Structure 1
Amino acid sequence: MSSKTRPEPPAQAVARDAHWAAKMARLRARQLPEHTLQLCDDPAVKKRLDQAKLELARLRMADAEAGREPGEETRTAEATLEEAQVAFDAVTVSLTFKALPRPVLDGLIREHPPTEEQGEDGDAWNPETFPASLVAASHIERDEAGRAVEGMCREEAQDLLDSWSAAESNALFSAAWQAQQLSRASTVDVGKG
């Protein structure tokens, strides 16, 4: 069965659930999860944002504990946080990674099998070739209208992985891998008693 051909819903299910087709359409239309890596090279801007978040959280907690509406100090902290966020966004590079459909991810892993030695070490894929391929395959950019467009190519991903420090390189791969691990489900009911 090709991925373009959708199976017909079982007749019994349609009979039991008059909304079966609508339910399946909603399930098929769900967007794949995304994960964003934010890279800020200005520690002072990052520190200012973190401090503004902590201060606002402290003031909101104090307001809540006192049972009062947010006061002037809290409103000032909100404005400070907003300014710090704008400054952070201005100097931050964001890379967004989107989950790949399971068959695509499985195929990508199969394209990069571990060497015999790597397999003996317990690797599920080749750690020399798989990370750049995953980063490239899952990275997306957005155009002015917010639509996903093609992101970096494998060579660009490999260049970043090779030229960055080990911690930053690991963060880049981890962000791409994390997108593959995110679940869109908010609750899961595994059975009825």
Structure 2
Amino acid sequence: MTSTRKTTQPPAAAVAKDAHWAAKMERLRARKLPERTMSICDDEAAKTAVTEAAMELARARAEALDECAKQGVGEDVRDAFVAANPRVLAADAALSRAQEALAEATTTLTFRALPRPVWEQLLLDHPPTEAQADKGMEYNVDTFPAALISACHIERDETGVELEGMSAEDAQELLDTWADPDAKALFTAPLLVNQTLRADLGKG
């Protein structure tokens, strides 16, 4: 006598639920760690040139719009009329050149948040001294900043490939030789990228 084994299929609702959660979990896994940049430019002339070029472009556009009104140019072609204005074209080109010069004079540092276990281990590696702990400090203020800067710094080449970045020694040198506001900004950038909440918790 041949026996037949009955195969029980899972409920369709459960299958759909599993697929739905699997897709959502995949999106959650794919989230990238946040990044934050810090731009440094000591060329005040380059900064001023961009500001002045932007103001000149605004003036040129305003005058071109006035010319539109005088000539009765319709709204549907007004943007094209302004964009083709010789003074606007010249001012726009001047702004582009000024922005390119500013970009060349600017050094940008990029910092990426650490995965939670790495962040917690870094805190454990740099515990506060007894005196610092008495003041409510969470980490050793003498050693943690350079370690955090180094751990979070991301260096990329022109193609976007990640390269070896700033060492803790490099970071400490900058912290020790820069002016106090700049040194604080250098530490604040990686600190904030690790402490800024991106999720919207909604209203309860």
Q: Does TM, scored on the shorter chain, surpass 0.5? A: yes
Q: Is the 8 A contact 1:99 1:180 kept in 2?
A: yes
Determine if contact 1:40/1:92 at 8 Å carries over to the other structure.
yes
- 1:183: Cα distance to partner? 4.4
Equivalent in 80, 104, 126 of residue 140 of structure 2: 126
Give RMSD over aligned pairs: 2.9
Q: 1:99 aligns with which of 106, 113, 138?
A: 113
Instruction: Provide the rounded CA distance (Å) in 2 between the counterparts of 1:18 and 1:82.
Output: 50
Q: Which has the larger radius of gyration?
A: 2
2:155 corresponding residue in structure 1: 141
Question: Would you say 1:190 and 2:199 are equivalent positions?
Answer: no
Specify the code of the residue in structure 2 equivalent to 1:30: R
Does the CA-based 8 Å contact 1:52-1:77 persist in structure 2?
A: yes
Alignment of 1:154 onto 2:168: yes
Which residue is 1:7 aligned to? none
Paired residue for 1:109, among 123, 133, 139?
A: 123
1:25 aligned to 2:26?
yes
How many residue pairs were aligned?
177
Counterparts in 2 of 1:15 and 1:111: CA distance versus 1, 3 Å: same
Distance, in Å, in 2 between the alignment partners of 1:130 and 1:58 is 49
Change (3 A) 1:175 1:54: farther
Partner of 2:8: none
TM-score, structure 2 length as denominator?
0.73
Residues 142-182 of structure 1: CA distance to partner in whole angstroms, max 9, x if unpaired? 13420223311111111111111111111111112122234
SS of residue in 1 equivalent to 2:101: helix
> Which residues of structure 1 form unaligned runs of 5+?
1-11
SS of the aligned residue for 1:50 comes to helix
CA separation of 1:110 and 1:48: change in aligned 2, threshold 3 A: same
* Identity in percent: 50
Match for 1:69: what amino acid? D
Pairing 1:75-94 to 2, within 5 Å after superposition: 75-94=89-108
What is the Cα deviation at residue 80 of structure 1? Answer: 3.0
Contact 1:132 1:158 (8 Å CA) reproduced: yes
TM-score calculated relative to the size of structure 1: 0.77
More helix as a share of residues: 2
Larger mean Cα displacement after TM superposition, 76-85 or 39-48: 76-85
Structure 2 partner of 1:178: 192
Deviating beyond 6 angstroms after TM superposition, the runs of 4 or more aligned structure 1 residues are: 57-63
> Aligned partners of 1:76, 1:53: CA distance in 2, in Å?
12
Partner of residue 69, structure 1: 79
